[in-house]
Amino acid sequence: MTKKIVIIGGVAGGATAAARLRRLDEESHIVLIERGEHISFANCGLPYYIGETIHDRQKLLVQTVEGMKQRFNLDIRNLTEATEIDREQKMIKAKNLITGEVYEESYDQLILSPGAKPIVPPIPGIREANVFTLRNIPDTDKIKGYVDDKQPKHATIIGGGFIGIEMAENLVERGMKVSLVEKGDQVMGPVDPEMAAYVHQELSAHGVELLLQDGVKSFEKNTVILESGKRIETDMTILSIGVKPESTLAQEAGLETGSRGGIVVDDHLRTNDISIYAIGDAIEVQDYILKQPTMVPLAWPANRQGRIVADNIYGGDQSYPGTLGTSIVKVFDYTVATTGVNEKRLKASGIPYQTIHIHPGSHAGYYPGAEQMAIKLLFSPVGDIFGAQIVSKKGADKRIDVIATAIKGGLSVRDLPNLELAYAPPYSSAKDPINMAGYVATNVLDGDIEIIHWDEIDQAISDGEVLIDVRNPNEFEKGFLSGSLNIPLDELRDRLDEIPKGQRINVMCQAGLRGYLASKVLWLNGFEVRNVDGGWRTYSIAKGLGAKITVG
């Protein structure tokens, strides 16, 4: 039986669903309605076009209207807005935004892929200020046109999420001074504070003025007035404080939505109306790890959901198991990658967990160009992997993908040492950083080592516990914790008599490995000992040493 399927919204989810539907059936009438001019474009490439890393605007258009019509035999109606859903009659009302014509369109199945829109609070003076948002091609054209024509000297970015960070980098690359204002105490919410601290340091190193725990009170022409009272003279402002689902159409039709406005769907991506599916940034999904409702506006989930819905419409039985939230962002010379659940959410959910930090080289140290990585791994008391965060100049992308795959494959941290990963000196080490993370996590689970974290060591010293720093004197002099005793690892066995008996000993090195070795020496000699997880590297970065930050 020939079906008539109407899709509201293009880009990642809607366009993917349309193409998959046609590949499954040649006869169905597939209507794609898109409010904008473009039906399929590369959202994630927009900042890099503004920054002129990408020069050809046409390359942002994944599919053109005419190209997709011809290739997939689709009835595409761009510059058309769906304004109403009549579920009883299985009819939508649409308006042609060029001619003003309003008409009705019937459907057998309806797919909602309306996406999300930038949050724009009613800040006093915002309409008179030179304020931009970035979500689509027209937004991009406005920003790039302004930068090209007016050649502004300074930009203020409100919000330290992915888009805000990427825009900061790209505007700096265009020669502008940038101030970045973030209401929270860190940028990049998906990572934990000590990992975000690397981003703070990198932004500072490239001249970005970073203002944390501060928000916008008002605008006065070319001045941004913050809640702290600070005034920023600026030529342009970009709002990047998050997005909210475009779910008004669904709500008005009586479809169920969640507490944050996302359209509620079942595991087959069907709404509470059996004829209506919903996908992409507008829907509420299940967190893959926590099994709790969440919203994750990323490209991979939208693409995957589009394909699943198309399969199910044609009799398939595909389910969407939830979103892991694997993501990655470039911050000047660094890459920040994350997957799964962070420590903040595990704490808030009351879920028992363990965490380790390691700092291996991105490839063999004897081969030129190796960079030190920062890897944080979170796991359950029995070894189930909850998530990971990686910051590095090299190698973060492939390592986060391995961990994301391990999670989806049901592997535990005990399986990570057994992963046989590709090795040659330019690419890795004989023991890949993922193997090393598995070894350290397994040691913690097995009680082979007891660790203390960067945010606990100050209190331990304050309580009178001993801290031995086993780095070499030249490393120690560059930065150390007050009250620590410097005994280099290679001298430790000969200086055991300098260490007080009957007290708990904490050991610190630069990155954790020498601390582990020292801990084993001390433990085998009768001391109660803990190793400072991640060493001085994690501690010093987490404490913000070296980053210029203004706190409101």
Enzyme catalytic residues: 44
* Cα 17 from chain centre: 25
Q: Which residues contact 122 (CB under 8 A, 6 or more apart)?
A: none
* Rounded CA separation 515/358 (Å): 12
* CA–CA–CA angle 472, 478, 483 (5° rounding): 80
Q: What is the dihedral of CA 547, 398, 508, 345, to 10 degrees?
A: 70
DSSP string covering 484-514, please?
-EE--GGGGGGGGGGSPTTS-EEEE-SSSHH
Specify the residue for token string 């597939």: 30
**Cβ contact 113:10 at 8 Å:** yes
**Cβ contact 263:257 at 8 Å:** yes
Measuring CA to CA, how many Å separate 209 from each of 39, 168, 170, 204, 551? 37, 10, 15, 7, 11
Amino acid found at 361:
G
> Within 13 A of 173's CA, how many CA atoms are on the CB side?
17
**Cβ contact 197:210 at 8 Å:** no
DSSP string covering 230-281, please?
-EEE-SEEEE-S-EEE--HHHHHTT--B-TTSPEE--TTSB-SSTTEEE-GG
DSSP-derived secondary structure letter, 415: G
Q: Is the dihedral of CA 183, 185, 187, 190 positive or negative?
A: negative
